Amino acid sequence: MKIAGTGSYLPEKVLSNADLEKLVETTDDWITSRTGIKERRIAAADEATSHMATKAAERAMEAAGVKAEDIDLIIVATITPDTFFPSTACHVQRNLGAIRAVAFDISAACAGFLYAMQIARHFINSGNRKTALIIGADKLSGITNWTDRNTCVLFGDGAGAAILTTKTPDDGDPSGLLSSVMASDGRLTDILSVPGGGSAIPITPDNAHLRLNTINMQGKEVFKAAVKNTCEACEAAISRAGLTSDDIAVLIPHQANVRIVDAIRERLRMPPEKAFLNLHKYGNTSGAAVAIALDEAVRTGVVKKGDNILLVAFGAGFAWAASVVRW
């Protein structure tokens, strides 16, 4: 399996740290020093997750030279689906006219795009499917509590996509997925969640004021779990690829917090210039973050043909994943 093309989409509206200073008791200095985030994008009220996902998909299809009728698998990783059902993937399928595909969503929060990549890889390597469209897309602004300074400064909206295709053994192309690690730990479900709005705690007129349908996070616990688990996953993915961290040209991490990225990088003994960061522009876009970063790194020439790149993400669940890809 190889990545034949990538694409991304960010909504136009920019929400800066200065804008947030007017909403909650915070400062640009606090947000920048604790997270590295300077601004984020916010989708329009009528711009659903599937709209952003479709735009990112169209750009990935164009980059890969793939038409809608070529696609036989669509996986959308999202925690902010358009509707409980049908899946956002089916909305995207309709928008694209990709009628040959089987389409479904997965829920793995910020690790979703890498989970989708590994699921698609199994479909492709088994010979079951040939051309997969995987998308990470989230409209977190819709599940953010804009009165909670602990969380509202962190998140943004966006979508990223990739086309994965079958490789023939004799095509002479060394690019492809070299290794993967994916894991989850359900003991940590409570440290990061949207507790209400599902079957466990439906939103009712009596509890609506509690905003249980917005993100609830124990930041320090998430920070610790992210560093521990992603460092181990990166080491395992590099080792399974038969490489050392010196062989990794570019680290494309989940774009949640620059301090988490620094911790991962330092554990892997990688210099700062190897980590691709765009969180200062977009904040944490959950399932979209690694996909958008990958697309930007490719389009700006940071990732070059033949490079080994390390992708890593973590999020609610707790769920995490890492992959080494040769570009």
Stretch that binds ligand ACO, among 1-9, 127-135, 199-207, 218-226 (CB under 6 A): 218-226
The binder of ligand ACO chosen from 94, 149, 274, 280 (CB under 6 A): 149
Is 91 a residue of the active site?
Answer: no
Residue 22 interacts with ligand ACO (CB under 6 A): yes or no: no
Going by the DSSP 8-state scheme, the letter that residue 310 receives in this structure is E
Residue 109 interacts with ligand ACO (CB under 6 A): yes or no: yes
Stretch that binds ligand ACO, among 95-103, 178-186, 216-224, 295-303 (CB under 6 A): 216-224
135 and 163 in contact (C-beta within 8 Å)?
no
The binder of ligand ACO chosen from 176, 195, 197, 219 (CB under 6 A): 219
Amino acid sitting at position 213: N
Question: Angle at the Cα of 281 (from 280 to 282), degrees rounded to 5?
Answer: 105
Stretch that binds ligand ACO, among 89-97, 205-213, 227-235, 255-263 (CB under 6 A): 255-263
Please give the distance of CA 310 from its chain centroid, rounded to a whole number: 14
Nearer to ligand ACO, 162 or 192 (CB): 192
Nearer to ligand ACO, 5 or 287 (CB): 287
Nearest distance, CB of residue 309 and ligand ACO, angstroms:
21
- Full DSSP string of 178-216: EEEEEEE-GGGGGGEE--SSSSSS---TTTGGG-TTS-E
Give the residue among 280, 319, 294 at the shortest CA–CA distance from 156. Answer: 280
Tell me how far apart the alpha carbons of residues 268 and 282 are, in angstroms, rounded to a whole number: 25
59 and 8 in contact (C-beta within 8 Å)?
yes
**Where are any strands of DSSP class E within 31-146?**
39-42, 73-77, 102-106, 131-139
**Where are any strands of DSSP class E within 63-202?**
73-77, 102-106, 131-139, 157-165, 176-184, 192-193
- Find the helix packing angle between 258-267 and 219-240, rounded to 10°: 40
Please count the residues of this chain forming the interface with ligand ACO, following the rule CB under 6 A. 23
Give the active site residue among 145, 213, 284, 308: 284
Looking at residues 45 to 84 of the shown chain, list those that interact with ligand ACO (rule: CB under 6 A): none
Residue 192 interacts with ligand ACO (CB under 6 A): yes or no: yes
Give the residue among 82, 51, 17, 47 at the shortest CA–CA distance from 283. Answer: 17
Residue 264 interacts with ligand ACO (CB under 6 A): yes or no: no
Tell me how far apart the alpha carbons of residues 287 and 158 are, in angstroms, rounded to a whole number: 9
Give the active site residue among 145, 231, 234, 254: 254
Nearer to ligand ACO, 152 or 178 (CB): 152
Nearer to ligand ACO, 164 or 290 (CB): 290
Residue 255 interacts with ligand ACO (CB under 6 A): yes or no: no
Residue 104 interacts with ligand ACO (CB under 6 A): yes or no: no
Residue 226 interacts with ligand ACO (CB under 6 A): yes or no: yes
The binder of ligand ACO chosen from 60, 92, 222, 270 (CB under 6 A): 222
Q: Report CA-CA distances (Å) from 189 to 7, 109, 212, 277.
A: 31, 12, 15, 27
Nearest distance, CB of residue 17 and ligand ACO, angstroms:
9
Residue 180 interacts with ligand ACO (CB under 6 A): yes or no: no
Residue 195 interacts with ligand ACO (CB under 6 A): yes or no: no
Question: Angle at the Cα of 133 (from 194 to 287), degrees rounded to 5?
Answer: 25
Is 254 a residue of the active site?
Answer: yes
Omega before 86 within 30 of 0, i.e. cis: yes
Residue 30 interacts with ligand ACO (CB under 6 A): yes or no: yes
Contact positions toward ligand ACO, by CB under 6 A?
A: 26, 30-31, 34-35, 109-110, 149-150, 153, 192, 219-220, 222-223, 226, 256-257, 260, 284, 286, 315-316
Please give the positions annotated as active site: 110, 254, 284
